[in-house]
Structure 1
Amino acid sequence: MITPLLLLLLSLVSAFLFYGASSVNQEGRILLEAKDGLEAPPDAFSSWNADDDAPCAWKGVGCSSSGAVTSVNLTGFSLTGPFPSTLCRLPHLASLDLSDNYINGTLAGPAFAGCDALSVVNLTLNNLVGPLPDALAALPNLTSLDLSSNNFSGGIPAAFGRFPQLETLNLVYNLLTSTVPDFLGGVSTLRVLDLRYNLFDEGPIPSSLGNLSVLENLSLGHCNLNGEIPSSLGRLSRLAYLDLSFNHLQGRFPEFLAELPGLIQVELYNNSLSGRIPAGLGKLAKLRSFDASLNQLIGPLPDDIFDAPLLESFHLHTNQLTGGIPAGIARSKSLADLRLYMNQLNGSLPADLGKTTPLVTVDLSTNNLSGEIPASICDRGVLEQLLLIRNSFSGRVPDGLGRCRTLFRLRLQSNALSGPVPSGIWGLPHLSLLDLRDNVLSGGISPVISGAANLSSLLIEDNQFSDIIPSEIGAAKKLTEIAAGNNRLAGPLPASLGDLANLSQLDLHNNSLSGELLRGIQSWKKLTDLNLAHNGLTGGVPPELGSLPVLNYLDLSNNDLTGEIPDQLQNLKLSQFNFSNNQLSGKIPPMFADEAFLSSFLGNPGLCGDIAGLCPASRGTTSNRHGFLWLLRSTLILAGLILIAGLAWFTRRYCKYKKAMDKSKWTLKSFHKLGFSEYEILDSLDEENLIGSGASGKVYKVVLSSGETVAVKKLWCSSKPQLANPNTSMDDAFEAEVATLGKIRHKNIVKLWCCCTHKDNKLLVYEYMPNGSLGDLLHSSKVAVLDWPTRYKIALDAAEGLSYLHHGCVPPIVHRDVKSNNILLDGEFGAKVADFGVAKAVEVIEKGPKSMSVIAGSCGYIAPEYAYTLRVNEKSDIYSFGVVILELITGKLPVDPEYGEKDLVNWVCSMIEHKGMEHVVDTKLDLSYKEEIIKVLNIGLLCASSLPINRPSMKRVVKMLQEVRPQNKANAENDRGKLSPYYKYAAE
């Protein structure tokens, strides 16, 4: 029989043997044992010295006055490994914070055995999986539990309704399912309940939550809630923060909010709430932020709505509100952020608005507002954004805006403003966007524009601006876009325009410009659009235009240009150009000598070329000489081809002979029932069957004797240098692909039939996808245009494939190289995810960045956090998929010189902000599908959010895509025209 004394002696001996001559006390030894169960950077535990008497001076360790360890805070230590349950042997441990690490695995029942003293547990931002542990509810002293930003799945266990003292429960951003449970209303001590961003099934807000009498924070945003907001929530007298945003809630606006005196923040945006906003919100003495945008609210704003003394942010955009803006808004002492765009508000703004109100952002776009812009709008000197587009404002632009040095966005487009623009506006030092389009403004561009150090977009078209373009405009070095068409600008183009190296669009059409086109334009390396049509420009077309690397649109029509069209323009990749109605002469460059371009050259009597209907007499001896030279050239080429064909025939015969000698040495491993042998595959690996080549090897199309077609990937030998990462061998890529695809069975994952190996040679045999890759179809001019229904189907298919990898595989699989070239298309344009050469199971990835020997991903698709964390998980795939969606909608590449230093994601966001969503949609798409396209664009932007926590899971992405199609009428109507809450743009 082993006595307790003997057990104690054995444990002491064991500890001595393990820690040597360590002098640290028992609690220190427990901490060292917990540390040994985790991987960490070398310096993470540098202060944990086993020779110390006690651990109280160790980094992350807190002790009581008696020297007992009461807290362990290892947040951000980059720890990898399972939850260190050894820490529960610390008898006085009250606070445990392991947030922002790589703690993985599950929290099994015994994980918290002995942790009875714990009051605070924080495990946010880790890689924990599996169900929420019931055992947590048994901890008698637990008051705060934060398990947010992990991968916990399943429903919230019933045990969570029995916490004896819990005050904070934070389960944000996991993979929890089922519905928000009714039993949470029984945890009477709760002060904070935060369940946002989970995969809950659609269901109502439990009315039992109204029983939480001390609840201060109720956050259920993005929880798939439906039905009405229960009136029982009106009993939460201590409620300060309410977030029910981004759900499917219906019914009338909750009138009980006006009776909750402690409210500080209310988030109800992106639902389907209807009815009127009740009076009484203005008496909420603590209210700071209110957002009920993207609903179906009607009627006028209550007169007292802006009387709340601490109100700072007020959002009611994208509703159906009518009436005027209450005069009480001008009395607000704290309102900074006002967004009421996309409603039906009318009337004028209070004349003294801004005199006492510290306005920072004002967006009243797309309403029916009229009258003058208040002269005092920037009197407090903090206004940064003023957006009043698509209203009926009239009169002059107030002089005070010319002194508003904090402004960085000023948008007054589509109003009835007149008179000159205050001179100071042109030179505001922080102004990035100046949008004055579609008004009746006059005067000229002031030379003070030289002080506009941050001006990026100058949009002044469709006005009556006159005078010359000042040479000082060249000092605004950040200008990327100048749109000044349909004005009365005169005089020559200032040479300083050629100094604008960031310029991507220059539109000065339909003015009265004169003089010659600029010559010193070599710095226009980012220029994509140049429109100088309908002016009085003279002289020749500068050959320098041909050196602009990304110029795509060129319109010089309706001028007085003379001379020949330079041959250098053939270097351009123009999708649209127009030289018509000038005085050009000479021959048209051969590349443009096509009937399809006839309309681009009309109205130039002296212009000749081989285009039917243009200079018909341009034949004769020159044509005969060209014919003879063509015949001679063709003969020489034919002779060369015969010689090359002979060499190729000999080489092929020799290779076949050598291949036959080695056939018997190949090993075949199948993953499905096969109707062919490895020999049939080996006999077909001829260059004439080659259909692709990349970093990992060559791909052949092989037609089998049965009539079936397969694709064979022949990987480079391991000694080949083609891999993007020198630390990765082809053996690794081959094993990864075989291990991953060999066990997967899903309609949207490409099928791996078998693999063949022989020494360093490795073959992978896949099902053949006749329409190739999505990248080829989108970005090659040799294929048919994909219509919108096809693109939508491709997006949904690919999403379902990735969702299966993330949620249907055990362990989950991260692809790590999601891109359009790795999405293959079958004969009916069904999409399948392919190329798993760098895929990893989550249980492998969770070992942390040390195990990541391959730089995962392709340029333009890599999530931004990878650059500084080297942490690749499902969120990285979701970001890459968001880029693919943007490719489908824009038709553009993920990286392109057109974007300057941006990538596709940043370009799309910038274009939407400056021009509107419709300007990023591929012009080849039928805009009768605009509503669907915009919804899918929102999903893509959400997936490509810069913050991983904002990206939905792939399961959620699939559901959102499914709800886009018209057949899901109920969901489609609820979400009509709504934007993602992470991209709260102005009306454009």
Structure 2
Amino acid sequence: MANATQGLVLLFRSNLGTSDSEIIRFPDDSHDRIWFPESKPTEWSEISTTKKVQNIDDDGKFEAPSAVMQTAVTPTNVSKPIEFSWDTRPSAKDSSPGYICILHLSELQLLPPGTERQFYVTVNGLMLSLDKGFTPQYLYSNTVFNPDAIDGFHHYNVLLNATANSTLPPLLNAVEVFSVVPTAGVPTAAQDVSAITAIRAKYQLLKKNWMGDPCVPKNFTWNGLGCSYAVSRPPSVIGLNLSSSGLNGNVSAFFASLKRLQYLDLSRNNLTGSIPDTFSQLTSLTHLDVTGNQLSGSIPSGLLKRMQDGSLTLRYGKNPNLCSNGGSCQPQKKKEDSKIAVYIAVPLGSVLVFAIVPIVAVSLLIICILRRRKGTNTKNSVRPQNEASMALSHSRGSNGHTSLHLDNRRFTYAELEAVTDGFRRVIGRGGFGKVYDGFLEDGTQVAVKLRSESSDQGVQEFLAEAQTLAKIHHKNLVSLIGYCKDMEYMALVYEYMSEGALHDHLRGRGNNSRCLLWKQRLCIALDSAQGLEYLHKGCNPPLIHRDVKTSNILLNANLDAKLADFGLLKAFNSGADTHVSTARVVGTVGYLAPEYQATFQLTNKSDVFSFGVVLLEIVTGKPHILNDPEPMNIIQWVQQRLARGNIESVVDARMSGDHDINSVWKVADTALKCTALAPEQRPTMTDVVAQLQECLDLEAVRGDGNAGVYTDRSGGNPNGYCGYATTDVSTDVSQSSTAFEMEHLGRVSTMSTGPDVR
């Protein structure tokens, strides 16, 4: 198990066979381990003893406390096995971690002659017990475990099956599951060591202090290197930053020997020659930057193809002799100019000889030819992605500022000053800048999101959000009223959402001190789900929000919910795509889908995972990361409590039990399905919308007999139902492949949380 090359991280630790909610720890456990109670009344029967259960002498490495071993479970149906399972939890450093499962077993009943308890223990079919089966000892603690990590599965299932000779069903007292993590001691992959050493020698990188093993130990990884540490293989180089390192000469072929390389930055050096075609064979490469060198020739066609399908971000500006058309780089100016001379000479000669062609016609012919020439020169070219130009429609006006081709109103900076009364009242802050309260000429209240000079988010994020919101329209998406791109000033003008962010209502912050009713929460959840479903199904190509969280769900005066903050939005290249690859992971920790963190690949199911976390926050009123007492994701927190079969232990106590328990169960179950570790096991947003509508129906039936409960949340809906609008209308959206930085924008509410209860 734990040794010089690997350590163990606890996944879960359960004390079985107790309906009590008490947690066992020190002084019962001298090692101060925390044992959480777990019971499944519909599947397990509980047995217990008051007698002390002792540890076997050779079992000192486990030493399960007697208080834990005094309870156990057996299957309610004696012909069935004891069964429990978990899903793999990949990380950015290890997409397929291994697991150690430890079962603690003790016979608690003094068996009469002629009876026997004997069973097999298997994990995904792998036998852990002896071939003849395992028999626990009376009042002595035994363990069954796998000494070597089991890995390579998405789902792990443990079974305790009675043998043919057994007269009693299997028994289990407690269980611990650990994930295996690598530790220092395993050297970097030999091929990577050879390649990086050759690169160091070629460019004489003496000042970088590249000595010893490139990746081990972690604290002394070579400067500029990024390494992956997987249990199943040696550490390998996945990132290399040699920007501004004084590199001279051609691009070394040894870069292509780093087979797991994902990120390579060779910018701002003095490299010459061409980009090696072998770079096309680096299948893991997602980001390549060669900006600001003296490279020449054509970009390899393999890289151009990957660049166009979105699997590679390639930056190559400021290389004067590097061409990007994927073909010949030889200039054809003379040949084209001679053709133009012939084309022009013929009609001009005709004018002189016959004098029948009007001068205007000749001029038009010349203009058409010149336009044709311009189109020929730009055909099949690929623009550098490191330039400020975007795949969005914009041009430079005579006053020096960019003019987006949008139907929305364009404001000048002076107009925004008037709208916001000199940017007097701040109602929110984010990575882009501050958000100000404002009023248009007709009295319409708006929110003005102004980019600050210190913001690390720039033109690309601004253009992406503006262009997207100008093209997509849905009642559950915040509407864009206008924009400003006036010299260095950039701003977006949104509809005003008076009740601020859902996050503040659930936390009771600011003016949002009153608790949301369960029906209000259901309506907000349904609204948000419909907005997300529209992005996934109603847009062409489909869109991924990438930052779904409670602080990005805004509420108006009627508590209608709308998704906001589209700066991280990502579009599929086509409707037939299964995923989108990104250069890096962006979003908010605690909401990120595990496969996105591990593979940098986005799907619609990444948003579904984030929305599942939102649903859990709506049910519990808790933050997405809790300190209980150690930091814990809300998913684990809810799973541990629901495993005991008590939904009330996770429901927000501030609602005082005013809810239909079946609808709460259904929402919690939907949330946990959304947060399944395997993306294919998660529902679609269409499925989620249908489930939430059913939950609202259940709550509505309860509310019909409850005259004292607030049921109407909007003036247009006397029955208090949230409307479910289908998304048959398809919206065409174009989106840059630029990876945007995170933005956390909160709004301060100016009103109370919804109408008074009546």
Pick the TM interval, shorter chain.
0.3 to 0.5
Alignment TM-score, normalising by the size of structure 2: 0.41
Alignment TM-score, normalising by the size of structure 1: 0.32
Structure having greater relative contact order (Cα 8 Å, sep ≥ 6): 2
Structure with the greater alpha carbon radius of gyration: 1
